[in-house]
Structure formats: structure tokens, C-alpha cells
A and B are shown apart, each in its own frame.
Chain A
């Protein structure tokens, strides 16, 4: 049972690390921190 928990925990951590790592690399899809500015594209 303990072994199963350890394996499942490891698998979940592995999955999350891949998803999270890729997402962190790609950046925030909601846009970088924004201020409503007029003269150029918001960043």
C-alpha cells in the first residue's frame, strides 16, 4: 500500500512537473502584466 502511494505520488508529480514546466516556459496566456496604454501594444 505504501509502495503504491509512493508510486502514484511520484507519477502525479512527474505529470505536473511536465505540464507546469511547459506552461512556465510558454508564459501566461492571459497576457503579461497589463496597463491600459494607448500608444503601443500592451505588454
Chain B
């Protein structure tokens, strides 16, 4: 059997997909702001990035790394590098896994793995860390195989990739754990060791989540965020071709047509069937691991969408908020992409080997992902076009400075905003990542037909303070000094607590309520610092050690060649 290698056409395909999808970011300046994707020119450091302030640790420790990295690189450049890394890692990773197939087959694998509704929809809601972790999954499979074989660097690579996935998002830390377990579960001692490594890799977010203030889960969240059907085909029909996100407005427009979703589903089934030809090439253990991870991920994505199951999970989440991590079940479909990508490569390789008219079929199948999802091109058909923060933002940030007092952001109606300078795209409020200090935004989720309650008890107190007879005094009692008004988002004059206007620009105004007697940190319940810092430091130390070890192995290997 030939040595696996990434063939040049697969590299070209990876680069082409990266350029075609991220095009607007590569040719225009500014920062793409959409959904949960928020970068700022210079993200200030704060305790919240390590989960030390008592807020929900959703982006811990990724925000910490971004804040450190953009001391060296501007936020806009950092955004581009991370997105390019996501696509490059994913494309080259799947091609490497398909390294014994023909060039065309590898190209098919790259296209299926990168150009699919899951990637489209995750970028559509701005979950770039999730896409980055998705790009790491093929490398995790490779590392698991090396670990299983006792090859040098297997443990180090597995741990580093688990940690990187956990850094991207807590949910992707769990997904990566699933993939790592699937690749190594056959021996009990090794399985326990891998689980231990996964626990260590996920400490930075798990410790603040466990030790933080009692967060409140909502029983309604599973109904709102579970995967759903597209094109009238039902949830399973959508999930088979990696669609099915909860947010209807980011579903690719072509996926609202039954014919497109049905054809995509049939193709997906063909790729799954084709996976059997990948088994002798990947090796039985690796193939088994990929199928196991893919099957479990499909099940996890599907189950919350089934009424009674979603209801039961919702009830559980009221008492055990941690269950809420699986509410966006479509996100957990990521490992299934490995099955489809490798199945496509295997099927195309088989058809090419048969020669004749089947070559035409093979080429058509290889091109199918792009044909079925044209709107992914050029930044989701323009949705990722970058914008430039108006000068108001830097002026307000300078005014707030490092006063140590909190800033409340209005409107107090959920976390998402629409700004005229960003074409009114819905985006997570950038204020916490732009302004220094404690920046407080409403954590309720406003959907079209209902409002999901917030999870953070301190933010509920802020909401109550804003509704009180003397909101300025009530807010000062909670450690808040500043009120930031984001104009054009429905804030009425009567919503703004009385105070002196410290800044009034075209897009923002800042109101000074007067210096509070206490800081937010004095009032807000937060986890004890030392376990959080210790957990993060331990993971960082282990990662550093493993990366050093891998670098040394690579250097030795180069010298011996």
C-alpha cells in the first residue's frame, strides 16, 4: 500500500475553497461582524476571559487568547488568520486522512468536508471557533491512530488537539473528546488515560463553569435551539446532508427547496455507503472510530429535536444548567462530516478505478457539494463583508478607561444588536470586547415568538435595577458607573437612567451615573480565583510541554530524512 500523502490538487482545492468562502475578508479591510463573531481592533484584557467574573464561561479561554494575541496582531488580521486556519486545517486534514486515494478522490473529500451546510450555517451565526475546531477533527483522528499504534508523539498530539478544541468552545471540547474516545476506546487503560487527558484539556472552561454562581437553566431552550428540518424534508433529512440549524434566517436559501435538500440527502447516503471502500485504506480501527463518532454525533444532533426527548432535556436543564450545552444540537454533528468526506473520497476513487462513463459520474459527485450550495461562495454571498467600527467606539472606550466601574449597555433587550455601519446585521454586542472593565449586557434571548430568560443572577439584578424607581442609584449600588447607549437599537430617552452625558456621538452616547461606592467585583458572585487559575495554568503548562516535545520530534525526523 502506498504511503498516505496530500496530493497537490487537494492542496489547490483547499486553497480555492478558502479563498472562495472567505473572499470578502481577503480583499476588503475592516472586521466581519455577524452573529457571535465579534472581533475588535484591540480587545482589552479582563477577568471575564478566564471566567473569573462570575459570567457564563462560553468563550473561555478563547477570549483570553484573542486578547493576548491582539497585543501583537490587529484584531482584523487575527480574525482572517483564524478563519484561514480553520479552512486550511480542515481541508488538508481530510486530504491527509484520504492520503491513499487518488488526487480527484482527495479533492472530493476536501469539498464535501469544507463546502457543506454545517460550515455554512455555523459561519452564518458567527461561530468561527466551532468551525476552527471542526478543522482540527481530522488531525485528531490521525493523532488517535498514532497513539493507538504507540507511535512517537501520539499522546502529545492528542492532548494538544483536545486542548485546542476545548479552547475553541466547550461544546467542541466535548466533540473532540468523543472523537478521541472513539479512536482509542478498544483498550480500557488507554481509554481511561484519554478521558483523563480530555478532563485536563477542558479545565479552563470546566472549572469556572462548575464553581461559578448558580446559573439558571430554562426548560424552553431545547425547543428553541434543537435541530430542525429544511426544505420540508424533516429534521433527519436535513441532518443527513449536515443541515438543520435552529436559526431559520441563516439557512442557505437553496436549502429551502425540497429538491436540493432531497438530492443532498441521497448523495449523503451514497457517501455513507461508499465509506465501506475507505475501510481497507484507513485501517479497520480508524474506520470504526470515524463511523462510531459520526453515528453518535448524528444521534446527539437528532435526539433533542424529538419532542418528548427535548422536553425531558429541558426539564433536566432547569435543575442542572450544564445540560444546556447540548441544546444547539446541530453543532454536535461535526464528526459526521468525517464520514461524509471520507465516504465521498472512497466512492469517487472507486468510480474512477472502474473507468468509462463512471469517471463522469465520479467528477460530477466530486463537484456536487459546490453545485448543491452555491450561496457559500464569497462570504456566504456577501454576509461576511467586513465593516469598520466608527470612531465613537474608541472614544467611548478611552472615556470609560480603567475606572474599575461597571458599564451597563442599553438597550437592555437581549445581547444582539443591529448597527447601521454594519448593514444592520444581527451581531453579538461588541461592547464587552471593545470597552475595558466589566461591561454588562442583557443575557435574555429574544426570539421571534418568545423570550428565553437569562442565566446569570447578577444580570437579573441589573435588569431589576433598570426597572426601579431610581435606576441610577440602584445601578451604582451594583457597582455600575457608566451607561452606554447604542443608538438605533430602540433605546428611548425614558430608558436611560439620569446622569451626566460624558460622550454623545452619532452612534453611541455615554452617561456617567457618578462613581459607585463599590465595584462590580464586590457585588457580583464569582468563582474562587485560585482553582480557576490553577486549572488554566495546568492545561497551558501541559500544552506547552507537549508542543515542545512535538517540535523536537519533528526536528529529529527532519534531520534523519
- Chain A residues at the B interface, C-beta cutoff of 8 Å: 2-3, 5-6, 9-10, 12-13, 15-17, 19-21, 23-24, 26-40, 42-43
- Say whether A24 contacts B252, CB under 8 Å: yes
A2 shortest CB reach to chain B, Å: 4
Complex Cα gap A33–B422 (Å): 13
11 contacts between A and B (CB under 8 A): A3-B356, A6-B360, A9-B365, A13-B364, A16-B371, A20-B257, A24-B381, A28-B249, A28-B252, A34-B426, A43-B425
- Say whether A30 contacts B251, CB under 8 Å: yes
The one of A17, A36, A42 that contacts B371, using a Cβ cutoff of 8 Å: A17
Complex Cα gap A17–B374 (Å): 8
Complex Cα gap A12–B79 (Å): 38
Query: Who on chain A is nearest to B35 by CB?
Result: A33
Complex Cα gap A3–B490 (Å): 61
- Chain B residues at the A interface, C-beta cutoff of 8 Å: 34-35, 124-125, 247-254, 256-257, 259-260, 263, 354, 356-358, 360-361, 364-365, 367-368, 371-375, 381, 383, 411, 413-414, 416-418, 423-426, 446-448, 488-490
Question: Which B residues lie within 8 Å of A2 (CB)?
Answer: 354, 356-358, 361
Query: Who on chain A is nearest to B259 by CB?
Result: A19
Query: Who on chain B is nearest to A39 by CB?
Result: B490
Considering residues A3, A9, A10, A12, which has the most beta carbons from chain B within 10 angstroms of its beta carbon? A9
Q: A9-B361, A35-B418, A43-B424 are in contact. Are A30 and B248 (CB under 8 A)?
A: yes
Q: A20-B372, A24-B381, A37-B490 are in contact. Are A9 and B448 (CB under 8 A)?
A: no
- How many residue pairs link A and B with beta carbons under 8 A? The number is 123
- Say whether B34 contacts A33, CB under 8 Å: yes
Complex Cα gap A19–B383 (Å): 21
Question: Which B residues lie within 8 Å of A37 (CB)?
Answer: 417-418, 489-490
- Say whether A26 contacts B247, CB under 8 Å: no
Q: A2-B361, A24-B254 are in contact. Are A32 and B371 (CB under 8 A)?
A: no
The one of B257, B364, B447 that contacts A10, using a Cβ cutoff of 8 Å: B364
Query: Who on chain B is nearest to A20 by CB?
Result: B254
A33 shortest CB reach to chain B, Å: 5
Given contacts A19-B257, A31-B248, A35-B418, 17 further A-B contacts (CB under 8 A): A2-B356, A6-B357, A6-B358, A15-B259, A16-B260, A20-B371, A20-B372, A20-B374, A21-B254, A23-B256, A28-B250, A30-B248, A35-B426, A38-B413, A39-B489, A39-B490, A43-B424
Query: Who on chain A is nearest to B365 by CB?
Result: A9
Complex Cα gap A12–B248 (Å): 26
Question: Which B residues lie within 8 Å of A3 (CB)?
Answer: 356-357
The one of B259, B365, B411, B426 that contacts A16, using a Cβ cutoff of 8 Å: B259
- Say whether B448 contacts A36, CB under 8 Å: yes
Query: Who on chain A is nearest to B368 by CB?
Result: A13
Question: Which A residues lie within 8 Å of B250 (CB)?
Answer: 28, 33
Complex Cα gap A3–B355 (Å): 11
- Say whether B488 contacts A39, CB under 8 Å: yes
Question: Which A residues lie within 8 Å of B416 (CB)?
Answer: 35
Question: Which B residues lie within 8 Å of A30 (CB)?
Answer: 248-249, 251, 256
Query: Who on chain A is nearest to B264 by CB?
Result: A16
Complex Cα gap A10–B259 (Å): 15
Query: Who on chain B is nearest to A3 by CB?
Result: B357
Question: Which A residues lie within 8 Å of B447 (CB)?
Answer: 36
- Say whether B489 contacts A21, CB under 8 Å: no
The one of B253, B361, B413, B488 that contacts A24, using a Cβ cutoff of 8 Å: B253
The one of A9, A19, A27, A38 that contacts B490, using a Cβ cutoff of 8 Å: A38
- Say whether B358 contacts A21, CB under 8 Å: no
B376 shortest CB reach to chain A, Å: 9
Question: Which A residues lie within 8 Å of B375 (CB)?
Answer: 20, 23-24
Query: Who on chain B is nearest to A36 by CB?
Result: B446
A29 shortest CB reach to chain B, Å: 6
Question: Which B residues lie within 8 Å of A9 (CB)?
Answer: 360-361, 364-365
- Say whether A36 contacts B259, CB under 8 Å: no
Question: Which B residues lie within 8 Å of A10 (CB)?
Answer: 360, 364
B244 shortest CB reach to chain A, Å: 14
Complex Cα gap A10–B354 (Å): 18
- Say whether B417 contacts A35, CB under 8 Å: yes
The one of A5, A15, A29 that contacts B358, using a Cβ cutoff of 8 Å: A5
Query: Who on chain A is nearest to B415 by CB?
Result: A35
Query: Which are the 6 A-B pairs with shortest beta-carbon distances?
Result: A38-B490, A20-B254, A24-B375, A35-B426, A2-B357, A35-B416
Complex Cα gap A6–B375 (Å): 25
B372 shortest CB reach to chain A, Å: 6
Question: Which B residues lie within 8 Å of A29 (CB)?
Answer: 253, 256
